Amino acid sequence: MSRELSLITTCKGRLHYLQQTLPEMMKQKNAECVVVDYGCPQGTGDWVAEHFPQVKVVRVNDDPGFNQCRARNLGAVAATSSLFCFVDADIRLAPGFASWIGANCAAKTFLRAQPVTMDTWGTFACNREDFWRVGGYDEVYEGYGASPEDLYLRLSSTGISEHGFPATLISSIPNSEAERTTFYATNNRWWQHRINSLYLIAKLDLMKLLEEDLSIEKRKVLYVQSRQAIAHAMSSSANVATLEVSLEDKTTRTMNILIRLDRKLTYSIRWKDSSP
């Protein structure tokens, strides 16, 4: 039996794609649609309300940029189904997509396209309770890259296993490099991906070593450190960046009197000379 699914999509500057993909979402059986208008200059929310009044619209008007993680989390808050499926505005759904997901997304699993491509990397489905158990998307991320992988790894670390759905059930509408980064502070998505990747690995290591979730304040500090490390590499035209993270000394009071132990994690991220 197929369970109802919430299809959650976000839009800023991509109304021309959503006008092609939302009608296909609306044809899916056992599915509700949630569209997050993240300050879209094209008036996405108004267009959706006029043409598809049954769609839930979440409007965000307090951010001139675009934070996809925050947008997706806000969409999840508005969703009511027991299954979530996050779909970018440029992703087309084949007939029967929602029914397949609803029938195959079992407890303690999440689904991604098999085989997955760069263009379909962020499309995935999971159970509502699993999504919120790990805290949803990390809103510290900026720009392009690594934030979906962050969520997938955190889900996996809690015993939620990854399974595939047929890649033939989705396809992507080609778009330009400029369209991908229009509302991001960094226009070069590959440099942004390096920042996000460095932050991702350091954050997950710290969570494992400290055996705790990092507070939003600590995550923000770590993200700034990761950005500064990559910025230094950019300014020096280097193809390597180094990040050092100090670990808090949690030895006993007696040992703190006798010694001082300083610990650091050191990361070195490299890329090919010919990469963007």
pLDDT digits (tens, 9 = 90+) for 203-262: 999 999 888 899 999 999 999 999 999 999 988 888 899 999 988 766 555 556 667 777
Are 84 and 101 in contact by the 8 Å Cβ rule? The answer is no
Q: How confident is the model at residue 274 (pLDDT cuts 50, 70, 90)?
A: low
Average pLDDT for residues 147-154, to the nearest whole number?
96
The helix (H) or strand (E) run that includes residue 220 is helix 216-235
pLDDT for residue 251:
59
- The secondary element (H helix, E strand) that includes residue 33 is strand 31-38
pLDDT-based confidence at residue 185 (cuts at 50, 70, 90): confident
Residue 254 has what pLDDT? 56
The DSSP bridge partners found for residue 10 are 36
User: What does the longest C-alpha to C-alpha distance in the chain come to?
Assistant: 71
pTM, two decimal places: 0.92
pLDDT at 272: 80
Q: What pLDDT score was predicted for residue 177?
A: 75
**Average pLDDT for 48-76:** 97
Asked if the model's pLDDT at residue 100 lies above 70, the reply is: yes
| Mean pLDDT calculated for residue range 126-143 | 96
Q: What pLDDT score does 37 carry?
A: 98
User: In this prediction, what percent of the chain has a pLDDT beyond 90?
Assistant: 78
pLDDT reported for residue 276? 63
pLDDT tier, 188 (very low <50, low <70, confident <90, very high otherwise): confident
Q: Which of 4-8, 116-120, 137-141, 158-162 has the lowest mean pLDDT?
A: 116-120
Q: Which of 9-18, 54-63, 209-218 has the lowest mean pLDDT?
A: 209-218
How far apart are the C-alpha atoms of 204 and 227, rounded to whole Å?
A: 17
Both tokens assigned to 181: 């980064």
Domains and CATH numbers, the chain: 5-181 (3.90.550.10), 189-270 (no CATH)
Listed residue (187, 175, 201) closest to 142, CA to CA = 187
The band of 190, judged by pLDDT with boundaries at 50, 70 and 90, is confident
Q: Please, what is the Cα angle at 100 between 99 and 103, to 5 degrees?
A: 85
